């Protein structure tokens, strides 16, 4: 009996540190953010009561526009990553074992260097006298250099570059688990490539696609560094607005309020995208 | 129902030749078995016919039509995979209806066809189950149903019963024979199991380790009249002796060193049947009569000592040491509960056989 009790407590005690960590460093700060977004504080720092004023403030068109552009940024990043990652993952999963490990290794290598180094590397590629402009001029496609930097294009390039592995890995692992005979059986029964993809490959790798999609979509929504570094200050995104208020003098609670508003928006968008995805998948399966 | 003809079919993988210029005709509407040891290339041959792999050299004909370069999804040839390869996310109905839906048949026709086949396979109760909810034998039947529902010209079976236990396998073999008899589809059955091949085949081919076809014939021809010692040893069990041929024009004999001279029967004229030539002699264990007594009316006789006895149920296997140090196997049917004569360990025994039951092979 004693032993039984011990084993039933075991998972609980093993899980405890993680639970405590999660509470102290995630739920508690989140709680503070929510509280500070609705507290009414006088200029002298005295709490007067509760108000939704600050939250309402951010429901104005300007801020909703910021949320919308973050939504578009995250969505287009996730979709682009999906379309680029799936063929790569397919190639990786179905090449021979020896090369598979090499390719996976090459995918991991960039993570060993600092994020800022990646950004500067892309500066060299995209700047006026950079690699891309020189290449295009050499090929005779353009005469005058193009301003790639400080544009949506530069942001997207960096976003896709940075987030691609997060899409690739889950799709790769779900493809790798797939029995290749299933593809052969489908073709043998008379299906072409697109039918096999829609009816066999996609449904059986859906968990990977879904996982990768949200793994990219959610952090992209709040991405701060990449738009800031690559996009100049042309376009405002959720991340830059939050940092502006949080770092600004005595505007911390406004930052908290905007965080709450954008979190709710993110949550709604995730639910909607999830439902939309299900609907789309059902249609594709036919 | 169409025949398959392979002409000089060649395929290599990773630089080594797997299928070396194979010529083979698989007759239309027959149950054809391709038997060979593991890794001899028989599965590759099947995959080439299916179109799962590209032909390197040579042609594949379906009837009179050259299908060498026709893509897999346009060949009227279906395959039952060793692992079944059932689609795990589709239920039994959708798995079987897969090829019918591709043909854009009306919904009602698809349902009729699937129901008909489910009934004959006793799977109606499982129609909405996923493959993972079925037993091995049921999965096997779903795989079979999926492959034949669209009425292909040829059905390829790649060791389809390998994952089943012995009893179930025996039953499935009978079901397969009856199915082929009913459908008259050309069946090509690949296996390394000689028992399965002998059971199902109208015609069979034996492939050796190099991927070359050694012999084609009915199971009886293959078993009783193997043309090489590889075939004799691979199909069934046999005893092989080496010796010299003598008197080939009058009363043919074979002289085996340290053992004596034995009468043989030369059924066919072979180029290596030459006076004084070294040849091999194969005798199946069940063709030998074992007794402690002296018996007349047998053309051949030798003596030996029983080394060990293995009781198999329907037959008993005696391992007998000969005076030249060789050991041979003898099978006796266990016809009686209380046999008149009991042969035991270390008994001196006489072994008798008729010269017609011997096969002379090239060394």
pLDDT at A1 over 60: no
Measured between CA atoms, how close is A190 to chain B, in angstroms? 4
Residues A43-56, mean pLDDT to the nearest whole number: 84
Mutation target vs A (from B71, B77, B83, B85; most A CBs, 10 A cutoff): B85
Domain borders along chain A are 1-51, 61-285
The SS3 of residue B15 is coil
pLDDT (0 to 100) of residue A48: 83
Q: b vs e for A251-270, b when ≥16 Cβ sit within 10 Å of the residue's Cβ? A: eebbbbbbbbbbbebbeebb
A185 has a chain B CB within 8 A of its CB: yes
- Of A179, A195, A204, which is closest to B102 when you measure between CB atoms? A195
Contact B359, B281 (CB under 8 A): yes
pLDDT of res. B144: 95
Query: Which residues in chain A have Cβ-Cβ distances shorter than 8 Å to B73?
Result: 187-192
Residues of chain B with CATH 2.40.50.140: 237-362
Task: Inform me whether the pLDDT recorded for B268 exceeds 60.
Answer: yes
Lowest mean pLDDT among A181-195, A219-233, B69-83: A219-233
Alpha-carbon dihedral B100, B106, B107, B111, rounded to 10 degrees: -60
CA distance A101 to chain B (A): 20
Partners of B33 in beta bridges: B189, B204
Instruction: Please tell me the predicted confidence (pLDDT) of residue B249.
Output: 87
Q: B122 — alpha (psi -120 to 50), left (phi > 0) or beta?
A: left
Q: Which long-range contacts (CB under 8 A, 24 or more apart) does A78-81 make?
A: A78/A163, A78/A167, A78/A213, A78/A214, A78/A216, A78/A217, A78/A220, A80/A156, A80/A160, A81/A160, A81/A163, A81/A164, A81/A166, A81/A167, A81/A212, A81/A216
In percent, how much of chain B has pLDDT > 90? 88
Q: What is the pLDDT of residues B40-57, one digit of tens each?
A: 999 999 999 999 999 999
Location of each CATH 3.40.50.300 domain in chain B: 4-232
Residue A47 DSSP code: E
What token pair was written down for B153?
A: 């010209």
A191 touches chain B (CB under 8 A): yes
Q: What mean pLDDT comes out for the span A50-72?
A: 91
pLDDT of amino acid A14: 84
Token match 């396998």: residue?
B169
Average pLDDT of span A127-140: 88
Q: How confident is the model over B159-164, as a mean pLDDT? A: 91
Contacts with B48 (C-beta within 8 Å, 6 or more apart), sequence order? B9, B11, B19, B55, B60
Q: Which residues of B touch A200 (CB under 8 A)?
A: 87
pLDDT above 80 for B258: yes
In sequence order, the 6+-apart residues with CB closer than 8 A to the CB of B360 are B245, B254, B264, B266, B270, B273, B279, B280, B281, B282
Q: How many CB atoms lie within 10 A of CB A60?
A: 9
Q: Which residues contact A11 (CB under 8 A, 6 or more apart)?
A: none
User: pLDDT digit string (tens) for A66-95?
Assistant: 999 999 999 999 999 999 999 999 998 887
| Percentage of chain B modeled with pLDDT above 70 | 100
Average pLDDT of the segment spanning B82-101: 96
In which band, very low, low, confident or very high, does the pLDDT at A41 lie, cut at 50, 70 and 90?
Answer: confident
Q: State the pLDDT at residue B299.
A: 93
Give the strands of the sheet with B348-353, arranged side by side: B289-291, B348-353, B300-311, B315-322, B327-333
CA A211/CA A166 separation, integer angstroms: 9
Contact A181 B88 (CB under 8 A): no
HSE-CB at A279 with a 13 A cutoff on CA atoms is 6
Q: Annotate B46-105 with DSSP letters as a single string.
A: HHHHHTSS--SEEEEEETTEE-TTS-GGGSSEEEE-TT----TTS-HHHHHHHHHHHTT-
CB atoms within 10 A of CB A194: 8
Of A182, A188, A199, the CB nearest to B50: A188
- Is the per-residue pLDDT at B270 higher than 90? no
Structure tokens at A161: 């570059």
Q: Is pLDDT at A2 greater than 70 in this prediction?
A: no
pLDDT score at A7: 64
Nearest chain A residue to B82 by CA: give it.
A181
Integer Cα distance of B188 and B24 in angstroms: 12
Enter the tokens of residue B211. Answer: 């991927």
Which of A105-114, A164-173, B75-84, B173-182 shows the lowest mean pLDDT across its residues?
A: A105-114
Query: Of residues A138 and B310, which shows the higher confidence score?
Result: B310
B72 → closest Cβ in A179, A188, A199:
A188
Cα–Cα distance, B242 to B277 (Å, whole number): 10
pLDDT at A115: 87
**Which three-class secondary structure state does DSSP give residue A282?**
helix
Q: What integer best gives the mean pLDDT of chain B?
A: 94
| pLDDT per position as a tens digit, B126-147 | 999 999 999 999 999 999 999 9
Which DSSP state fits B30? -
Residue positions counted in chain B: 363
B150 neighbourhood in chain A, CB within 8 Å: 189-190
Q: Which residue has the higher pLDDT, A102 or B140?
A: B140
pLDDT higher than 80, residue B177 = yes
Topology of domain B237-362, CATH: OB fold (Dihydrolipoamide Acetyltransferase, E2P) (2.40.50)
Which CATH class for the A61-285 domain? Answer: mainly alpha
Per-residue model confidence (pLDDT) at position A6: 60
Residues constituting chain A: 286
Q: Which residues of B touch A192 (CB under 8 A)?
A: 73
Q: Do A185 and B150 touch (CB under 8 A)?
A: no
Indicate yes or no: CB of A188 within 8 angstroms of CB of B98. no
pLDDT score, position B281:
94
Residues of chain A found within 8 Å of residue B103, distances taken between Cβ atoms: 190
Is the Cβ pair B83, A185 closer than 8 Å? no
pLDDT bucket at A127, cuts 50 / 70 / 90: confident
CA distance A186 to chain B (A): 8
- CB contacts of B78 in chain A (<8 Å) are 188-189
User: For residue A286, is pLDDT > 60?
Assistant: no
The 8-class DSSP code of residue B153 comes to S
Distance CA B291, CA B347 (A): 10
Give me the CATH topology for the region B4-232.
Answer: Rossmann fold (3.40.50)
Q: Could you give the CA distance from residue B237 to residue B240 in angstroms, rounded to a whole number? A: 10
Q: What is d(CA B275, CA B277) in angstroms, rounded to the nearest whole number?
A: 6
Residues 6+ apart with CB under 8 A from B167: none
Task: With beta carbons less than 8 A apart as the criterion, state whether B96 and B130 touch.
Answer: no
pLDDT given at position B36: 94
> Phi and psi (nearest 5°) for B313?
100, -85
Contact A191 B89 (CB under 8 A): no
Question: Does B87 contact A at CB distance below 8 Å?
Answer: yes
Which spans in B103-258 are helix H? Answer: 107-120, 136-148, 166-183, 194-200, 219-224, 229-234
CA atoms within 13 Å, Cβ hemisphere of A162: 27
Residue A50: in which H helix or E strand, if any?
strand A47-50
Q: What long-range pairs does B212-218 form, CB within 8 A, spacing at least 24?
A: B212/B20, B212/B22, B213/B22, B213/B23, B213/B24, B216/B24
**Given CB atoms, is B52 within the 8 Å cutoff of chain A?**
yes
pLDDT higher at B268 or B95: B95
What's chain A's Rg over C-alpha atoms? 24
Q: Name the burial class of residue B225, with classes exposed (0-12), middle (13-18) and buried (19+) by CB atoms within 10 angstroms of its CB.
A: middle
| Residue A248: predicted pLDDT | 84
Whether residue A194 lies within 8 A of chain B, CB to CB, comes out as: no
Q: How far is A106 from chain B (nearest CA, A)?
A: 25
ipTM of predicted assembly, 2 dp: 0.88
């Amino acid at each position: 009996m004693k032993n039984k009790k011990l084993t039933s407590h075991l998972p609980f005690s093993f899980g405890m540190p993680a639970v405590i960590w999660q509470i102290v460093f995630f739920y508690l700060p989140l709680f503070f953010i929510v509280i500070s977004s609705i507290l009414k504080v006088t200029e002298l720092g005295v709490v007067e009561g509760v108000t939704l004023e600050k939250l309402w403030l951010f429901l104005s068109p300007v801020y909703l526009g910021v949320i919308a552009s973050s939504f578009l940024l995250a969505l287009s990043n996730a979709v682009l990553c999906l379309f680029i990652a799936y063929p790569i993952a397919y190639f990786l999963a179905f090449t021979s074992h020896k090369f598979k490990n090499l390719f996976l290794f090459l995918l991991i290598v960039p993570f060993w260097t600092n994020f800022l180094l990646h950004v500067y590397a892309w500066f060299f590629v995209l700047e006026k006298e950079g690699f891309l402009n020189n290449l295009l001029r050499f090929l005779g496609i353009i005469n005058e250099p193009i301003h790639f930097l400080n544009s949506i294009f530069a942001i997207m390039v960096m976003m896709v570059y940075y987030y691609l592995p997060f899409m690739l890995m889950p799709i790769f692992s779900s493809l790798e688990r797939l029995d290749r005979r299933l593809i052969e059986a489908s073709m043998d029964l008379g299906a072409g490539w697109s039918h096999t993809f829609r009816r066999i490959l996609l449904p059986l790798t859906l968990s990977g696609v879904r996982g990768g999609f949200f793994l990219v979509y959610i952090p992209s929504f709040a991405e701060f560094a990449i738009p800031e570094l690559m996009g100049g200050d042309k376009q405002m995104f959720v991340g830059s607005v939050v940092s502006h208020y949080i770092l600004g003098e005595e505007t911390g609670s406004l930052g908290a309020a905007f965080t709450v508003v954008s979190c709710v928006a993110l949550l709604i968008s995730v639910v909607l995208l999830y439902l939309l995805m299900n609907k789309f998948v059902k249609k594709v399966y036919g | 129902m169409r025949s398959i003809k392979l002409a000089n079919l060649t395929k290599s993988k990773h630089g080594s030749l797997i299928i070396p210029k194979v010529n083979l005709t698989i007759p239309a509407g027959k149950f054809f078995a391709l038997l060979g040891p593991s890794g001899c290339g028989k599965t590759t041959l099947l995959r080439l016919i299916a179109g799962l792999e590209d032909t390197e050299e040579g042609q594949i004909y379906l009837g009179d039509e050259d299908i060498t370069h026709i893509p897999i999804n346009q060949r009227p040839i279906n395959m039952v995979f060793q692992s079944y390869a059932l689609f795990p996310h589709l239920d039994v109905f959708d798995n079987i209806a897969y090829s019918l839906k591709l043909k854009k048949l009306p919904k009602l026709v698809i349902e009729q066809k699937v129901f008909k086949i489910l009934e004959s396979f006793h799977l109606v109760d499982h129609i909405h189950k996923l493959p993972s909810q079925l037993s091995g034998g049921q999965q096997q039947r779903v795989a079979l149903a999926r492959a034949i529902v669209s009425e292909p010209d040829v059905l390829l079976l790649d060791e389809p019963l390998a994952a089943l236990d012995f009893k179930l396998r025996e039953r499935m073999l009978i079901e397969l024979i009856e199915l082929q008899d009913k459908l008259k589809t050309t069946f090509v059955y690949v296996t390394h199991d000689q028992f399965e091949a002998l059971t199902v085949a109208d015609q069979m081919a034996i492939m050796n380790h190099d991927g070359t076809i050694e012999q084609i014939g009915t199971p009886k021809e293959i078993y009783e009249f193997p043309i090489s010692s590889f075939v004799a040893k691979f199909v069934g069990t046999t005893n092989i002796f080496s010796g010299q041929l003598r008197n080939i024009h009058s009363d043919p004999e074979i002289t085996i060193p340290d053992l004596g001279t034995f009468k043989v029967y030369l059924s066919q004229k072979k180029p290596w049947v030459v006076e004084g030539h070294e040849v091999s002699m194969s005798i199946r264990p069940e063709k030998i009569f074992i007794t402690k007594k002296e018996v007349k009316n047998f053309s051949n006789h030798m003596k030996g000592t029983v080394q060990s006895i293995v009781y198999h149920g329907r037959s008993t296997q005696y391992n007998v040491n000969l005076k030249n140090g060789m050991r041979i196997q003898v099978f006796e049917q266990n016809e009686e509960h209380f046999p008149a004569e009991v042969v035991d360990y270390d008994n001196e025994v006489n072994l008798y056989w008729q010269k017609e039951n011997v096969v002379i092979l090239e060394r």
